[in-house]
C-alpha cells in the first residue's frame, strides 16, 4: 500500500485561490513543471528559495509513494531585459559585455546553478530541458496557434492576439486581471510597434542584424518568445494536461498567464490543474536587487565573505532557515534571523543525536502515533514546513522526557520515533546527513565529551572551582551541561 492512499493532501491552487484536495490525473503518477533559471548570472538567494520550495514538494510527493516526473527547465534564450517585449536578450547582453559566446555564458552560469543546488542538497529534476534545444517544438506550437486564429505575423515577428483570444477564453484568470482594464490603462503605441494591441505578446521575434542568438523559421530569422519556451517544454514531457506547474510569485503575470493562453489557443483547454507560486525573499526588510547592492549570493553565505552577515553559515543552516517560513509567505533574510535559525538547527540535531542514543523500555507512556500523525497533517496542509518543524521540536521534547526518566518508550515506539525524525528531517526537508556539518558535529561532540571527563575528574578530586569553571565557560559558548542519573549530557543553544 502506498502512503498517499491513506493521506489527504491539500494544495493551494493559485487559479482558484483556495486549498484543494490533490488528486493526480493518472493515479499514482504526478507530473510537475517548474520554471527554471535564466542563466545569465549567478543564481541569487530568492531564486534558490523558490527552487527549494519545490524540492521539498518533490521530496514529499516521492515520500508518499507517487512516481513523479519533475521537469525544471533552463532558459538559455529569448528572455529579454526587464521581461520586456522589445530590447536585448539577457544572455546575449551578458555575452556582449564579457566578450564571450552566449553559450559560454549559459555554460558558466548553468554550472554555478547546479553547484549551488547540489551544495544545498537538492534532488535533481527528472528532466532538465533547455529552451535552445526545443526551437522546433516552439515553432510547431506557433503554427497551431496561427492556424487557430489567435496569432498573427508582422514584419518577421509573430504575436499572440490577446483581444481575439479573450473573445473565447479568459486572459487574466490566473492573475485576476481584466483585459478591458489592461487596455484602458495602457497608452497607445502610436504606430511604433508591429503589434495590433499593447497587450499582445511575442511568440517569435525577428532578429535584428546585431542579435547574436538567431534561428531560421517560417517567418524569417529570429528567436522564440520567453513565454512560449515553457509551454513547449512542459507539454512535450508532461502532456497537454498535467498536474502541477510552479514558479516564483513574480512569474504569475505575465509569464504564467501567457502560458495558459498559449496552451488554450493551441489545444482548446487549460494545461494545468494546480498552479503553485512561491513568495519572495527580502533582505533586511527590503527587496533584493543587485542595482542597489542589497543582495547576497548563496556562496557568500557559506564562505562568510560578505558585509551583511557576522559569520559563515553552513548549507544545512541556510536550508533550515528558508524552510522555517511557509513557501507562500514573504521571508526576510538577515543576520539576526539566520543566527536564530542556526541555534534552532543545532538544538534540533542535538535532539536527534540524543534520540539515537535512547534505550527502550518494556512499555510506552507516550503516544508516538499521535505525534507522527501531526507531522503528516502539517505537510498535507499545503506543505506547511514551519508547522512540521514545530512538530519535530515537539518530537525532541518527547526525547528529552524519556532521557530525563519522566517517560518511557517501548522498542517499537522508540524505533517509530527515530524513523519519523529521520524521515522528515532528511528525506522530506532535505537536511543533509553528511558533509561538513556532520563532521563539525562529531568533532564538537568529541571535544565537549573530553571537557565533561575533565570536569568529572575535577569533581572526583573535589576541585569544585575547576568543575564550575568548565561548566560556566562552556555555557558562555552556548553549550549547556546537564547532570543526570546516567551521567552528564550536553545541548547546544
CA–CA separation, 28 and 4 (whole Å): 8
Give the chain's radius of gyration (CA, Å).
27
pLDDT of 301 higher than 60 = yes
261, 165 Cβ separation under 8 angstroms: yes
Which pLDDT score, from 0 to 100, does residue 372 have? 98
Average pLDDT taken over every residue of the chain = 92
33, 235 Cβ separation under 8 angstroms: no
* pTM attached to this predicted model: 0.87
**What mean pLDDT do residues 268-293 have?**
90
319, 120 Cβ separation under 8 angstroms: yes
pLDDT single digits (tens) 211-227: 889 999 999 999 999 99
Phi-psi region of 4 (alpha: psi -120 to 50; beta: other; left: phi over 0): alpha
Distance, first Cα to last Cα, the chain: 41
C-alpha cell at 50: 523558490
Which pLDDT score, from 0 to 100, does residue 478 have? 75
Q: Would you tell me how many other CB atoms lie within 10 Å of the CB of residue 257?
A: 21
CA–CA separation, 72 and 467 (whole Å): 57
pLDDT single digits (tens) 259-268: 999 999 999 9
pLDDT single digits (tens) 71-122: 999 999 878 877 777 778 889 889 999 999 999 999 999 999 999 999 999 9
pLDDT single digits (tens) 375-424: 999 999 999 999 999 999 999 999 999 999 999 999 999 999 999 999 99
Amino acid at each position: 500500500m502506498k502512503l498517499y492512499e491513506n493521506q489527504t493532501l491539500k494544495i493551494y491552487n493559485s487559479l482558484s485561490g483556495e486549498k484543494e484536495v490533490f488528486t493526480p490525473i493518472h493515479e499514482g503518477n504526478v507530473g510537475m513543471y517548474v520554471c527554471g533559471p535564466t542563466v545569465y548570472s549567478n543564481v541569487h538567494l530568492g531564486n534558490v528559495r523558490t527552487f527549494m520550495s519545490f524540492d521539498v514538494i518533490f521530496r514529499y510527493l516521492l515520500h508518499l509513494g507517487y512516481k513523479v516526473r519533475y521537469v525544471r527547465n533552463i532558459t538559455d534564450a529569448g528572455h529579454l531585459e526587464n521581461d520586456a517585449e522589445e530590447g536585448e536578450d539577457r544572455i546575449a547582453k551578458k555575452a556582449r559585455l564579457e566578450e564571450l559566446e552566449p553559450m559560454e555564458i549559459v555554460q558558466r552560469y548553468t554550472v554555478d546553478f547546479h553547484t549551488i543546488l547540489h551544495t544545498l542538497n537538492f534532488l535533481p529534476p527528472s528532466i532538465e530541458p533547455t529552451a535552445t534545444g526545443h526551437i522546433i517544438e516552439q515553432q510547431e506550437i506557433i503554427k497551431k496557434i496561427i492556424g487557430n486564429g489567435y496569432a498573427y505575423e508582422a514584419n518577421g515577428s509573430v504575436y499572440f492576439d490577446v483581444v481575439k483570444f479573450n473573445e473565447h477564453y479568459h486572459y487574466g484568470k490566473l492573475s485576476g486581471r481584466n483585459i478591458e482594464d489592461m487596455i484602458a490603462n495602457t497608452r497607445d503605441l502610436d504606430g511604433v510597434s508591429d503589434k495590433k494591441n499593447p497587450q499582445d505578446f511575442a511568440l517569435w521575434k525577428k532578429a535584428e542584424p546585431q542579435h547574436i542568438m538567431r534561428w531560421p523559421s517560417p517567418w524569417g530569422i529570429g528567436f522564440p518568445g520567453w513565454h512560449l519556451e515553457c509551454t513547449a517544454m512542459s507539454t512535450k514531457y508532461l502532456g497537454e494536461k498535467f498536474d502541477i506547474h510552479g514558479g516564483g510569485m513574480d512569474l504569475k503575470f505575465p509569464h504564467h498567464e501567457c502560458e495558459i493562453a498559449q496552451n488554450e489557443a493551441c489545444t482548446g483547454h487549460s494545461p494545468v490543474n494546480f498552479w503553485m507560486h512561491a513568495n519572495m525573499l527580502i533582505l533586511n526588510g527590503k527587496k533584493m536587487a543587485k542595482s542597489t547592492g542589497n543582495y547576497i549570493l548563496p556562496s557568500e553565505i557559506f564562505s562568510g565573505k560578505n558585509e551583511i552577515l557576522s559569520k559563515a553559515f553552513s548549507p544545512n543552516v541556510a536550508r533550515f532557515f528558508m524552510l522555517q517560513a511557509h513557501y507562500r509567505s514573504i521571508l526576510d533574510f538577515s543576520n539576526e534571523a539566520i543566527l536564530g535559525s542556526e541555534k534552532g538547527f543545532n538544538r534540533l540535531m542535538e535532539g536527534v543525536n540524543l534520540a539515537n542514543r535512547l534505550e527502550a523500555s518494556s512499555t510506552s507512556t507516550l503516544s508516538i502515533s499521535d505525534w507522527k500523525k501531526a507531522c503528516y497533517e502539517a505537510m498535507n496542509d499545503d506543505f506547511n514546513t514551519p508547522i512540521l518543524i514545530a512538530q519535530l521540536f515537539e518530537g525532541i521534547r518527547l526525547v528529552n522526557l524519556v532521557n530525563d526518566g519522566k517517560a518511557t518508550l517501548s522498542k517499537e515506539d522508540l524505533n517509530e520515533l527515530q524513523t519519523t525524525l529521520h524521515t522528515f528531517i532528511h528525506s522530506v526537508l532535505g537536511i543533509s546527513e553528511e558533509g561538513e556539518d556532520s563532521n563539525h558535529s562529531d568533532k564538537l561532540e568529541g571535544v565537549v565529551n573530553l571537557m565533561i571527563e575533565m570536569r568529572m575528574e575535577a569533581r572526583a578530586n573535589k576541585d569544585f572551582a575547576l568543575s564550575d569553571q568548565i561548566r560556566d565557560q562552556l555555557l558562555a559558548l552556548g553549550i549547556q551541561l546537564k547532570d543526570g542519573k546516567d551521567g552528564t549530557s550536553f545541548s547546544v543553544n
